[in-house]
Amino acid sequence: MKQKRAYKYRFYPSDEQKQIFARTFGCVRFVYNWALRKKTDAFYNDNQRLYYKDLSALLPDLKKQKEYSWLSAVASVPLQQSLRNLDRAFINFFEGRAEYPTFKKKSNRQSATYAGTAFTWRNGALTLAKMSEPLDIRWSRPLPDDITPSSVTITKDCADRYFISILAEDEIEHLPSNENALGADLGLKSFVVLSTGEIVGNPKFFHKDEKKLAKAQRRHARKKKGSKNRDEARLKVARLHARIADRRRDFLHKLSTRLIRENQTICVESLVVKNMVKNEKLSKAISDVGWSEFVSQLEYKADWYGRTLVKIDRWYPSSKRCFKCGHLLDALTLDVREWTCPECGVHHDRDINAANNILAVGLTVHACGESIRPGAVKTKPGSSRRSRKASK
């Protein structure tokens, strides 16, 4: 089955290309902020809603104005795409997946998307509009020979690294089916405990670099605003953040890929992390562990490779229910890691017992349907939001 898939690579632009990207990022950021202000003012002042087609029709007139003539110096496609991105941001807001869109800043991550008419792909070389030379891409993994990119997104992160994401339709073959089923209990002491008894430790990437990051941030705060020294200090802070994020992402991808390859069905809890981080004592540790990203990776990889991901109700008492006899404790505090069932006398490891309960309930949901418990969700291949979006 063909699905849209993105291939991300790092590239190293020349000095001339860096100048072009700097202008493009600035124009994209300006158009996005201009459109956001237009939409907000139109709604609150005139009770009128502006959509992509309305703002797209106003963009040529904006370029013709003398004070904004510099917008014509860059490719027009990324500017139009920024309006589409704003439209998508508002859809996410109204559907409850994101906060109200905010204005883009020069100091944050920058990006620009080029559709098929704004770049040339020939013999493995990619040349963007307004550029005479192809990009110097580091092909860390081979790009399939039979695919044609539909769009490319250029990104510059806060550590001044350039990345390109190539979107194309690719044939993704399902993995051979097997009978393995797995329950996974996500935690803080251990990142995940599996129903097989395997315990994957929590790497705590942020915690390991926290002192180094705090020192770099203090040095940055002492520098004079607008000085070159302050900019260099900011870059050191950004590189530390990038190091933490890269290591966490690499760990999550390797673990999620292994679990998807080894198991036909994976059962997890449907956690609401944005509510959990409100706990003042645990918020830093919860943010560091990366549960949401891990479950998201399991979800789209299950779609790709013909696996099933089952999310059970987050209120299911997996930790304090005895897996052997079903006895439910009245309370079980977080500091209790082992307990003995008063009904059948079986001694439980808290996390392994929870993983076994998650597996049992998940298989019931998979067999009987979503109505077995409120909030249970079953993800079949091709049913995730990412897959539905790609098929449109």
| Residue positions annotated with a catalytic role | 185, 269, 351
In sequence order, what are the residues at sequence separation of 6 or more whose Cβ sits closer than 8 angstroms to the Cβ of residue 248? 203, 205, 206, 288, 290, 293
Rounded to a whole number of angstroms, the distance between the first and last alpha carbons of the chain is: 14
Nearest to 292 by CA among 316, 307, 318, 314: 314
118 in helix, strand or coil? helix
Tell me which amino acid residue 243 is: R
CA torsion 218-221-224-229 (nearest 10°) is 50
Whether the Cβ atoms of residue 253 and residue 246 lie closer than 8 Å to each other: no
Distance CA 198, CA 128 (A): 48
384: its two tokens: 């995730």
369 in helix, strand or coil? coil
Alpha-helical (H) ranges within the chain are: 15-46, 52-64, 76-94, 205-222, 228-262, 273-276, 283-289, 291-305, 350-368, 385-391
Distance CA 370, CA 359 (A): 15
**Backbone region of residue 72 per phi and psi (left: phi > 0; alpha: psi in -120 to 50; beta: other values):** alpha
The rounded radius of gyration (Å) of the Cα atoms in the chain is 25
